[in-house]
Amino acid sequence: MIPYLGCDGARGMLEASADGELGVHDQVVLEAHLRWCDTCRARLMDVRALGSALRLGAAASGAGQGRAASLAAMQDELLMRIRAEREQSLPVRCRAALADTRYLWPALGAPLAVVLCLCAATMVNRSVRSERPGSMAAILSVLASPGSDRNPLFLDSAMLAPRPLAGSALDIPADEAEFAVAAVVTREGRVVNYELLQPVHEQTGRPSAAAQPDDITALLELVRRSRFEPALVGGDPVAVNVVWLLARTTVKASAVAGSRRRRRPGQRRAGGAGASPRALVTLLSESVARMITPRGARSPSSASSNCSARESGIPSFG
């Protein structure tokens, strides 16, 4: 008994049937369906008609009169090309080249020489291109970037001077001493390239040796660790050269006649009559910082902030 097949199932088999790809069983089922279904039969006829039209058009397009001659010519040309290709193939050429060894070593030596030359040229080029710190290129590079850490500026009136950061006050290890430190305050606010300027005795003109070596070492360590807000030009940080004057000065006040208590008439003296006024002597021993600024340079903050007690280090700019 042949199973029933609907139109949906039949349509899935139509093309395979037209192409001869349908199995025997499915072909029998499909033909049973096509006996009563005009729609599917028409579809199958359409598929076959399309194939006929395509074959007809292909036969017409390939029916040029010169086709046989063209194909024969193509075959001859093709065989010639194959023969030439075989003759010029790499193994054949290698065998021919190796047959005469007189050309072997020049053929190997020339590429080797070229490779060596290229290597040498590359090495020379790389050595030339690497920039040395003392080279003219490096110097020009530094000069081309004023305000960098390698090319610091000198302070002028258009700059905002560096300011010591809060909490970076120095405690000078020696008493009654003055130090001058030449340094560079970088864009990041660090102090680099610092150098202690030897104090000079005013009368003799010779370097004074007031400070002890230990004090100087401790001072330079403090200088190294100090931090600043960098100098600003137009809002941009720049590195600047500074001379930092550090001083510890003891100020002794003379005996001061203390202010005497004045009593109002009728007021009783506290502590009893005859108490002598107490003389007040104040001994001040503080570090005083001074800041020497060039004419016209803008101070970064009010003067009071530079002269606060125990603040002992303020840069000086020459």
Partner 1 sequence: MQSPATGELVKNAGAISWSHVESGEAALIARCASGDEAAYAELVGAHQRMVYGLALNLLGDPDEALDLSQEVFLRVFRTLSRFRGQSALRTWIYRIVINQARNRQRWWRRRRRGDQVSLDEYLGTFGDVASRQDVLPDRQLASKETAARIWQALDRLPFDQRTALILREIDGLRYEEIAFTLDVAIGTVKSRLTRARQALRAELQELRG
Contact residues for partner 1 (CB under 8 A)? Answer: 9, 12-13, 15-16, 19, 21-23, 25-26, 43, 45-65, 67, 70-71, 74-75, 77-79, 81-83, 85-86
CB nearer to partner 1: pick between 66 and 272: 66
Residue 183 Cα distances to 48, 77, 89, 218, 290, angstroms: 98, 87, 75, 16, 17
User: Which residue number, 73 or 281, has a Cβ lying nearer to partner 1?
Assistant: 73
Classify each residue of 269-305 as buried b or exposed e, where b means 16 or more C-beta atoms within 10 Å of its C-beta: eeeeeeeeeeeeeeeeeebebebebeeebeebeeeee
Length of the chain: 318
Tokens describing residue 75: 């075959």
**Closest approach of partner 1 to the CB of residue 32, in Å:** 14
Q: Inter-axis angle of helices 90-99 and 104-129, to 10 degrees?
A: 110
Structure tokens of 36? 């009563």
Burial of 193 (0-12, 13-18, 19+ CB in 10 A): middle
Q: How far is the CB of 2 from partner 1 (least distance, A)?
A: 14
Rounded to a whole number of angstroms, the minimum distance from the CB of residue 55 to partner 1 is 6
Q: Tell the smallest beta-carbon distance from residue 98 to partner 1 (Å).
A: 20
Q: Which residue's CB is nearer to partner 1, number 22 or number 184?
A: 22
Cβ within 8 Å of residue 198, ≥6 positions away = 207, 208
Helix (H, G, I), strand (E, B) or coil at 236: strand
Distance in Å, CB of 100 to partner 1, minimum: 24
Closer to partner 1 by CB, 16 or 153: give it. Answer: 16
- Rounded to the nearest whole angstrom, what is the least distance from the CB of residue 87 to partner 1 in the complex? 11
Q: Count CB neighbours of 237 within 10 A.
A: 18
Nearer to partner 1, 20 or 111 (CB): 20
For partner 1, the closer of residues 41 and 227 by Cβ is: 41
Beta-sheet pairing, 153-154 with 240-252: parallel
